[in-house]
Structure 1
């Protein structure tokens, strides 16, 4: 089943064309990475998919449902690059249940799902902590839990490993690998993309210029160089071993 379908998407910002006739489909349960230099259009694409931005043309469907800009769709969740943009309540518990409460979940269901997402993200011990006192990795997992509790089928991650230490990054990677949702990850952390994703898209100036298996795409020296990207170190090592 197709989770995301985009047809001939066009978007301009301050008379600058960000997308022009961009088309894309994403299969349900797949893990797709988006890579590209700064300004390539990755975040704009995410905000368009969520209905936050209004494209000048084109159509976006989530699970066969046409997206109407400025409407809320619980089927999809967005994890911001900076968790501080998502966390605003007095306690971790309050932040996580906020969305579920506003969707009208019953108190019993909220308590059940709160327990589930706290355990899934490994932050049960943080339930009564103050969000702004947490570490970057802890905030990241709280932000993820606040989205998971609303039962999204699709989750978009915008630079999820930014500013995480090695331990928090590894925990995030393990979590993403076990994710049951369709996920799209925009990241400059190409090693994370290699470990988590089964497909990668290279975006440059609002166009998809590469699409396929992450190891094959990201080991293509010409493609990576032309799009201001570098081959991940682990692939450089593998290529060096093969060349010997």
Structure 2
């Protein structure tokens, strides 16, 4: 089953063309990495898929349902690159349940879902803490929990390992590997992409220039160099 369908997507800021007829299909339950140098269009693509931005042309569908800008789609969730952009409530619990409350769920449903996402992200001990006092890794997992509680079928992760220490990064990788949702991960952390994803897409100047098995794509020296990327250390020939 197709989770995300994108056809001939075009988008530009003023006179700067971000996408030029980008087409893409993502299967249900797949884990897809999105890589490319800064300015390649990765974040803009995520915001377009969520309906935050209005493309100049093209079509986006989630599970065969057309996405229209400025509408909310519970099927999809976005985890921001900087958790501080996502966390704004007095306590961790308040931040996590905020989305569920706005979905109109009963207090009993919210309490049940809260316990589920606290356990799955391993942050039960943080629920009464103040978000801005948490470490980077803790904030990352709280942000993920605030998305999970709304039970999305697709989750977009924008640079999820940015500014994490090694322990928090490993915890994140383990969590992503066990994820049951369809996930897209935009990241400069190519080793994370190798460990988590079954497919990688390379973007450059708003175009898809590579698409396939992560180990095969990211070990292609010419492709990586042409797109201002480096072969991950674990794939370099010794």
Category of TM-score, reference length = shorter chain: over 0.9
User: Within 2, Cα distance between the matches of 1:65 and 1:103?
Assistant: 19
Instruction: Classify the secondary structure of the residue corresponding to 1:132.
Output: helix
User: Within 2, Cα distance between the matches of 1:82 and 1:21?
Assistant: 29
Alpha-carbon deviation of 1:14? 1.9
User: Within 1, Cα distance between the matches of 2:49 and 2:107?
Assistant: 30
Corresponding residue of 1:34: 34
> Deviation digits for residues 133-161 of structure 1, max 9, x if unmatched?
00000000000000000000000000000
User: Within 1, Cα distance between the matches of 2:90 and 2:166?
Assistant: 28
Query: Scaled by the length of structure 2, what TM-score is found?
Result: 1.00
1:46-85 correspondence runs (5 A): 46-85=46-85
User: Within 1, Cα distance between the matches of 2:154 and 2:89?
Assistant: 24
User: Within 1, Cα distance between the matches of 2:42 and 2:218?
Assistant: 17
Instruction: Classify the secondary structure of the residue corresponding to 2:88.
Output: coil
> Deviation digits for residues 179-199 of structure 1, max 9, x if unmatched?
000000000000000000000
* Residue 12 of structure 1 pairs with residue 12 of structure 2: yes
Instruction: Classify the secondary structure of the residue corresponding to 1:203.
Output: strand
Corresponding residue of 1:162: 162
Instruction: Classify the secondary structure of the residue corresponding to 1:174.
Output: helix
1:130-209 correspondence runs (5 A): 130-209=130-209
Moved over 4 A (4+): none
Corresponding residue of 2:107: 107
User: Within 1, Cα distance between the matches of 2:19 and 2:136?
Assistant: 32
Unaligned 5+ residue runs, structure 2? none
User: Within 1, Cα distance between the matches of 2:79 and 2:199?
Assistant: 20
User: Within 1, Cα distance between the matches of 2:153 and 2:177?
Assistant: 15
Instruction: Classify the secondary structure of the residue corresponding to 1:104.
Output: coil
Alpha-carbon deviation of 1:126? 0.1
User: Within 2, Cα distance between the matches of 1:149 and 1:196?
Assistant: 22
User: Within 2, Cα distance between the matches of 1:212 and 1:206?
Assistant: 18
Instruction: Classify the secondary structure of the residue corresponding to 1:209.
Output: strand
Query: Scaled by the length of structure 1, what TM-score is found?
Result: 0.97
